[in-house]
Copies of this chain bind each other. A is one copy, B any other.
């Protein structure tokens, strides 16, 4: 069993988004200080890094329930992109969160229809 091209692309985006959020938080935000270290913003970056990494792993297992994690992941990516935009000087993070969020949303469209 191979992952479909669509799932593989979402795995890749989740992996990249997790690494970017984590690395930016640990390096850029911690050193920039100010709004970059506001608890709400920083927590969101860490939570987004966590769920994106986990979303990629769940997709790699191949279980059909991955759509539920993608659905959650899309919410975090949107919230994190918005927060990064407000803080400013975080365009890499904004960009990957938007792309990853859109991919996760597409992945989970069946959940949204069923709700």
Contacts and interface: CB of A to CB of B under 8 A. Distances in A.
A60 B22 contact: yes
Interface of A: 1-3, 11, 15, 19, 22-23, 26-27, 30-31, 33, 37, 39-40, 42-44, 46-47, 50-51, 53-54, 56-58, 60-63, 65-66, 68-69, 71-72, 75-76, 79, 115
Nearest to A72: B68
B50 A58 contact: yes
Contacts of A61: 22, 26, 43-44, 46-47, 50
**Copies of this chain in the oligomer:** 4
Given A30-B37, A65-B79, 5 more contacts: A15-B19, A22-B61, A43-B61, A50-B61, A53-B53
